[in-house]
Structure 1
Amino acid sequence: MTLTIAATSLREIGRRRAALLLVIALPLAFYAARADQQGQAIRFLALGVGWAVATLSLFSHVNSRHLDRRLTVVGASPSALLIGRQAALAATGLAMAAGYFGLIALTQDVERLWAVAVLLVTTVLIAAPLGAVVSLVLPRELEGALALLAVMATQMLADPEGTLAKALPLWSTRELAAYAVDPVGGEYFERGLLHFAVVVVLCSAAAWTAAVVRLRPQALPQPAP
């Protein structure tokens, strides 16, 4: 069932060509706007990839609400539905990240290029469950996409050393990007991975709990005598 859901989700994402092209193009715009400043260009690109994957995740989960309810009636488990859809989104995001990693490799002379790959992969793995969580709070595409854009914009503008930036889901991009580009110590890499692990666990747990609660069997009311 999980593989079936993943394949169905991939086909659903592929059918929305216009939306897919727009969300893929946004990270490129972020990167081009800061191409002359290597560190910011890479970090903004990662944040753009995060917004793109989170938005695709939001769209996928919002559009599948009624389908998931019907599938649970015929025996599908909420866990299988969530894992299958998340697997499809992660695969789409990693393919996007691979393309942008190639762009960085061709256009930038990065001291630790492998760390850029880690940066993009961790961003994708955060963004997929993040979009699922936002779809539970704001179950409409427009409101959810605007909320995600607000989160990413705040992440870009907030003081990276401040409490607000560290409380946002993609603060790890700053630490990992600094480690990839600047001659800093391994503590940046360690802090970035730790923040990534905490956010992934929290978002995944929230998405799974909400899916189980939302799709749990409901008793029908007793007919009136």
Structure 2
Amino acid sequence: MNKILTTADLALREIARRRTVLVVLAVLPLAFYLSRRGDHLGQSIRFVCLGLGWALSTAALFAGSAARPIEPRLRLSGYGSRHLVLGRLLALWTVGLALSLPYYLLILVDQHDVRYGAIAVVMLLTVAVAAPFGLALSAVLPRELEGTLVLLIVVGLQMMTDPAATASRALPFWFSREIGTYAIDHTDSGYLDRGLLHGVVFTVALTALVAVAAGVRLRRRPHLRFMPSR
């Protein structure tokens, strides 16, 4: 447990160094919210959740890329891949909760006749999914620019794709539309159940992907060269 907490502390320190990026990421969900605040209150809630997902996924992408050079040294110090993955996820989930709380309070004050408990569930699932999603992108796409562009594409598709289409369920934040519909439009609990299942499945699957990718990467020894036997 101490190794996980130490890894989390290192990740938080690395994220805190990017102060300008943190400010931009913190304001990004507000821009999403205000873009629909004037004419579509329900859409503003859905958009702020997508903004949170994009912001935390970007922070996770940066954290994963920044941690790659120090991971081999931590491994030599006795840290396993599970310590590194869980510690980094713990740090990102903490950042996500801290980022989500002010926006949840904003909705409490600014919105009426919605199911606030369901909105809290949307935000919790958004934080749960966004952290491993960003780390998974950093594992697959080592360059931050490429990962950021993929995030832009995913969020754009999430906004434009018909949520009723089967293909839309392959997007990581589809659950936010389902649970958001339940919270805002007061639909039946089927929307809530489908959203919960989708969010939990994506959280587990993305976390497993990050763990596998970390295990494979940290077992490599690129500095070793095997000489052919004579």
Give the letter for the 1:17 counterpart: R
- Residue 84 of structure 1 corresponds to 87
Post-superposition Cα deviations, 1:106-162, rounded to whole Å, max 9, x if no partner, equal 111142111111110100100000001111121111111111111011000001111
Q: Does 1:144 align with 2:141?
A: no
Q: Does 1:6 align with 2:8?
A: yes
Post-superposition Cα deviations, 1:18-51, rounded to whole Å, max 9, x if no partner, equal 0001111111111001113122111110000000
- Residue 182 of structure 2 corresponds to 179
> Contact conserved, 1:9 with 1:85, CA < 8 A, in 2?
yes
Q: Does 1:73 align with 2:81?
A: no
Deviation at 1:202, TM superposition (A): 1.1
Q: Distance in 1 between matches of 2:186 and 2:220?
A: 55
Q: Distance in 1 between matches of 2:220 and 2:111?
A: 53
Identity rate of aligned residues, in percent? Answer: 45
> Contact conserved, 2:14 with 2:66, CA < 8 A, in 1?
no
Q: Distance in 2 between matches of 1:5 and 1:136?
A: 17
Q: What number of residue pairs does the alignment pair up?
A: 225
> Contact conserved, 1:55 with 1:131, CA < 8 A, in 2?
yes
> What SS does the aligned partner of 1:34 have?
helix
TM-score, length basis structure 2? 0.94
Q: Distance in 1 between matches of 2:226 and 2:15?
A: 41
- Residue 45 of structure 2 corresponds to 42
> Contact conserved, 1:53 with 1:89, CA < 8 A, in 2?
yes
Q: Distance in 1 between matches of 2:94 and 2:109?
A: 23
> Contact conserved, 2:52 with 2:100, CA < 8 A, in 1?
yes
Post-superposition Cα deviations, 1:163-206, rounded to whole Å, max 9, x if no partner, equal 22111111000011111111211111000001011111110111
> Contact conserved, 2:46 with 2:176, CA < 8 A, in 1?
yes
Please tell me the root mean square deviation across aligned C-alpha atoms, in Å: 1.5
> Contact conserved, 1:38 with 1:181, CA < 8 A, in 2?
no
Q: Distance in 1 between matches of 2:226 and 2:155?
A: 48
TM-score, length basis structure 1? 0.96
Which structure 2 segments of 5+ residues have no match?
A: none
Post-superposition Cα deviations, 1:191-222, rounded to whole Å, max 9, x if no partner, equal 00010111111101110000001001639335
Q: Distance in 2 between matches of 1:7 and 1:59?
A: 16
Which structure 1 segments of 5+ residues have no match?
A: none
1:17 to 13, 16, 19: 19
- Residue 34 of structure 2 corresponds to 32
Relative to structure 1, the CA distance from residue 222 to residue 141 in structure 2 (aligned partners, 3 Å threshold; closer, same or farther) is closer
- Residue 193 of structure 1 corresponds to 196
Q: Distance in 1 between matches of 2:42 and 2:212?
A: 37
Post-superposition Cα deviations, 1:4-24, rounded to whole Å, max 9, x if no partner, equal 111111111111110001111
- Residue 171 of structure 2 corresponds to 168
Give the letter for the 1:4 counterpart: T
- Residue 105 of structure 1 corresponds to 108
- Residue 56 of structure 2 corresponds to 53
